[in-house]
Structure 1
Amino acid sequence: MKKSLILIYGLLLIATMATSFIANSSVFRESVVALIMILATFKFLLVAFQFMELKKAHSFWKISLALTLGLIVILIIGIK
């Protein structure tokens, strides 16, 4: 249990640093919004499944969360 929490925490830190790098970099100028949204989605799913115990929830809630999140991300990327 403790190892998985440390692993998730490490992944969240890496994803946050990657988001900061992408936001401040001129290399990814064309796809900044898409990359940041993908990393934010990844971080949200890590938190939801690990710390909010969604992994133990009914599959309906898992699927509905994934579909809603996917729709929101697609709409935000599409608007940009």
Structure 2
Amino acid sequence: MDKTTTITWVFLVVLTILASFLSGIQGIYLVISIMILAGLKFLAVAFQFMELKIAHYFWQFLIVAYLLIFIVLLLLVLRV
């Protein structure tokens, strides 16, 4: 494994541990914080391990737009 892959893996582990610590929060802040952490993990996996960082800009834009639309729609459905 190269250095970037190792750093990304450690970043994902840290975000997972942080999400478990945040599970004690009550209310709206729990949903928003977990969604932000999940979005960051999604982008890290997509750009590093799926090699989206070397893909055409259209695909990079499409994956980020998909994430934003998904989070906004989910928050609207949950009425947060």
Scaled by the length of structure 1, the TM-score of the pair is 0.88
Q: Is the counterpart of residue 31 in structure 1 residue 4 in structure 2?
A: no
Displacement of 1:71 in angstroms is: 0.5
Cα separation, 2, equivalents of 1:30 and 1:53:
34
Give structure 2 stretches of 5+ with no counterpart: none
Q: Which of 50, 57, 74 is the aligned partner of 1:76?
A: 74
1:1-60 CA-to-partner distances (Å, cap 9, x unmatched) read: 71111110110000001111111x13x533111110110010010011001010010000
Aligned pair count reads 78
Cα separation, 2, equivalents of 1:38 and 1:10:
17
Scaled by the length of structure 2, the TM-score of the pair is 0.88
Q: Which amino acid is the alignment partner of residue 7 of structure 1?
A: I
Cα separation, 2, equivalents of 1:35 and 1:64:
23
Identity, in percent, stands at 38
After superposition, the CA RMSD in angstroms is: 1.3
Displacement of 1:78 in angstroms is: 2.1
Displacement of 1:74 in angstroms is: 0.9
Q: Report the counterpart of residue 6 of structure 2 in structure 1.
A: 6
- Runs of 4+ aligned structure 1 residues displaced above 2 Å come to none
Cα separation, 1, equivalents of 2:22 and 2:75:
16
Give structure 1 stretches of 5+ with no counterpart: none
Displacement of 1:61 in angstroms is: 0.5
Cα separation, 1, equivalents of 2:28 and 2:60:
32
Which range moves more in the overlay, 29-38 or 50-59? 29-38
